[in-house]
Structures are given as structure tokens and as C-alpha cells.
Amino acid sequence: MHRPTFDIVFTILKLNIAILLSATILFDCTKEPINHEDKSVYVSINGDTIIVNDLVISKSIYGFDINPRDIFFLNSSVGFVVGYNGDILKTVDSGKTWHELNSGTTLHLHSVFFLDENVGFASSQAMGGCLDADCDKGSVLLKTTDGGETWTKTFFPDYSRILSLKFFNTLNGVALIKTPNYPYSKNEHIALTSDGGIHWNLIYLPIRPSDDKLFYVDNIIFIAGENQKIFKSLDYGYNWETISTPIEAYHDVNHIYFYSENIGFIDGITAVYKTVDGGLNWIKTDFPFTNFGTLHFYDENEGFNIENVAVYEGGDFPTFKGSICYETKDGGESWSKSDLIESLHMGLIFFPQRDLGYSINFSEFYTIKKID
């Protein structure tokens, strides 16, 4: 499929940004405790198994090479990855083996969601000026009822991208939809479907997502808004609660992470704030890292984050140097910190269970497991 030079440059830029902002770990071979702030982080490597305190991270390398845009696991065994050129990969054995599904399109896929082992959805960006039969038709929503063996297509000529899919049942779903950039008009919308994705209703909400994602906790939806607000929905996106934050004027809500409906964190660029009552009150919290990256909590107290380190050494993009692992045992009040860790590289991440996560980066796949 022929793509214009701009698309190639855009793809390279997106790829590098994803590498820098994704969950990226590169580990060295130290096996001694590393002390920071009166705490210890133990880093150990044994082949393709890495231990960071109570995290065990296992790496596998496969023959395929996918430019991943989204990862979704239905449970601990069944998972899917979608990427550019219509690529869809499926595993039924926790990532030990993968096989490629025939999506029926070469449009770049950006989101995937499954309700069960049979019914699932994937969505794309619109593309023009290429040779595929699906070009110049807008964005496509793919639906399967047989676990991805076959897909049906619904095209949306007025949409430039369909992102962040979430279905609550076979009929009701929500997505983040982008429309073309027209002067004096919004191009990012919350969209709802009540007929399984055949039609979408764009609702007005002054959103300002920073990473093209809705944040979900079970069936609760959060998204960043304009004027330092965040929005929350408890009813599939039909009604939204506006939550004020103490983020400074002229700054935006840069990242959102909620462990539950009540306990959550927001990154306001210059400060991080925590709530334990659903956003009624916020407390400024000192995080030692500047990007939420892979921020994840197993319970109300224990969590971790892995932050990349990159420096400009000439050229168009920063040079990746490694990652630093942070762990907390007290709900984010204090953090232990590792030294710079080199040699292992994670990408997109998804946690089907509180203590089990998966990550993919091109041909590398990682399992993240918390041990007691």
C-alpha cells in the first residue's frame, strides 16, 4: 500500500513519542539492593526474567513485528493487539504464542475491545491517497462474533479516527471520536452507541484529552476537560459529573489515574494531586517522576511506575537511555527508586487483573506479575 511521505514521517514521529511515553523498562545486571531515601529497590536479572522488588517481569521475543497501537486482554489468557496496516494479533495462552487474524483492511487500527471470547470490536483512522479499497471511506469500525476469525465493516466518512473503544454490552458503547480539523470547531468528541456501533451520537462535552484515551475503572469513565476540569460518568456516558481540580490556571490535566471511583490521581504538569473522595477534595502529592507512564496500583496502598529516561544527543529525536522503577507502599505518599535500568524495553501495557499485566513493543512481549 502506498502512503505519502508525510504519513511515513508522521508514523516515525508517533513511534518515537510512543516509545518515550510508554511503559519502557531497560534493566542492567545489578543484583544488589539500591538505596534511595532510606528505602531499597532490588533489581535482578536471570536470562529473560527480571525482578524489581516484588515485580517479576518476563520477556519473550517473537518472529512477527507489529507497530502496536492498542492492547487488550479479556482475561489472563485471551488477548489482542492491533496496529498499523490492519494488523491484529491474538493469543489464547497468555502471550506464549500469537497468531495473526485477517482484519480485512490495511487501515491503521488504533483501538480494540472484546466483550467475551466471541464478540469484539476494533477501529481505525481514516486514510486517503492509498491503494487499499478502504481508503477515502473514512474511519472503519470492525466487529467480530467468532473471536476474530471474521470481521464485518462499518464505515464513517465524517470521522478521522475512532479511539478508546469501550463496550458495556452488545449494544451500548462509548468511544473517543475525532473529526476533521475545521476552523472554530471542536474535533474531539465523546461518542455513544446504542446499537452495537452501527451509529454513534457525538455529545457535547468540553474535553481536552492529552493522550487520546478515556480512562476506565470498571464501567466508570473519566476524561480530562478544559479549564482544569475532569469529567466522570457512571451510566455508560449518558450523564457526566464535572469535577473541579486545584490545577493552576493555564495548565491542563495532563494525566488521569483512578484506582477506584473514589481514589485517584491527576497530573497538572507542575504538581500531582490525590483524591480519596471522588474529587470532592484534592491533596497535593509529591511524586518523584514527571510522567505517569505505567502507573498502576494493586490495592489502595501498593503501586508502581516505570519512567523512561531519554536525552538529546543530536538528531531529530532523543536517545533512549533506560528506565527508573518507582514503588510505593503507602498510597503514593513516599516512593522507593531504582537506579537507571538498561536493556529491557516495554511498550503498551494492559492489566486484566490487579496483580497481572501484559505489555508489547514490536516483536517483544512482557508479562508483569506481582509476587507476595
336-337, strands of its sheet edge to edge:
296-297, 303-311, 319-328, 336-337
Pick the CATH number of 5-370 from 3.40.50.300, 2.130.10.10, 2.70.98.90, 3.30.450.20: 2.130.10.10
Q: What is the pLDDT of residue 7?
A: 42
Q: What is the pLDDT of residue 344?
A: 66
The mean-pLDDT minimum among 141-145, 282-286, 315-319 falls in 315-319
CA distance 324 to 52: 10
Cell 502506498 sits on residue: 2
User: Looking at the predicted structure, is the pLDDT value of residue 41 above 70?
Assistant: no
Pull the grid cell for residue 288. 518523584
CA distance 155 to 128: 14
The H or E element that residue 21 is part of is: helix 5-21
Q: What is the pLDDT of residue 98?
A: 94
CA distance 346 to 350: 11
User: pLDDT, tens digit, for every residue of 60-92?
Assistant: 988 877 899 999 999 999 999 999 999 999 999
The b/e string for 255-265 (b: 16+ C-beta within 10 A; e otherwise) is bbbbbeeebbb
The H or E element that residue 201 is part of is: strand 201-203
**Residue 196, amino acid:** G
Distances (CA, A) of 231 to 122, 164, 332: 25, 16, 23
User: pLDDT, tens digit, for every residue of 216-238?
Assistant: 998 999 999 999 999 999 999 99
CA distance 82 to 112: 7
Report, as an integer, the average pLDDT of 321-346: 84
Length of the chain: 372
pTM value is 0.86
Q: What is the pLDDT of residue 28?
A: 35
Distances (CA, A) of 23 to 168, 253, 298: 27, 20, 17
pLDDT band at 127 (very low <50, low <70, confident <90, very high): very high
pLDDT band at 275 (very low <50, low <70, confident <90, very high): very high
Q: Where are the domains of the chain?
A: 5-370
Of 296, 267, 290, 264, the closest CA to residue 277 belongs to: 264
User: Looking at the predicted structure, is the pLDDT value of residue 36 above 60?
Assistant: no
Q: What is the pLDDT of residue 345?
A: 77
User: Looking at the predicted structure, is the pLDDT value of residue 31 above 70?
Assistant: no
Report, as an integer, the average pLDDT of 27-37: 37
Strand bridging mode 255-258 / 264-267: antiparallel
Cell 465523546 sits on residue: 190
User: pLDDT, tens digit, for every residue of 241-256?
Assistant: 999 999 988 888 989 9
Report, as an integer, the average pLDDT of 317-327: 84
pLDDT band at 37 (very low <50, low <70, confident <90, very high): very low
Quote the mean pLDDT of the chain: 86
**Residue 38, amino acid:** D
Give the whole-number percent of the chain exceeding pLDDT 90: 61
Q: Cβ distance 362 to 67 under 8 Å?
A: yes
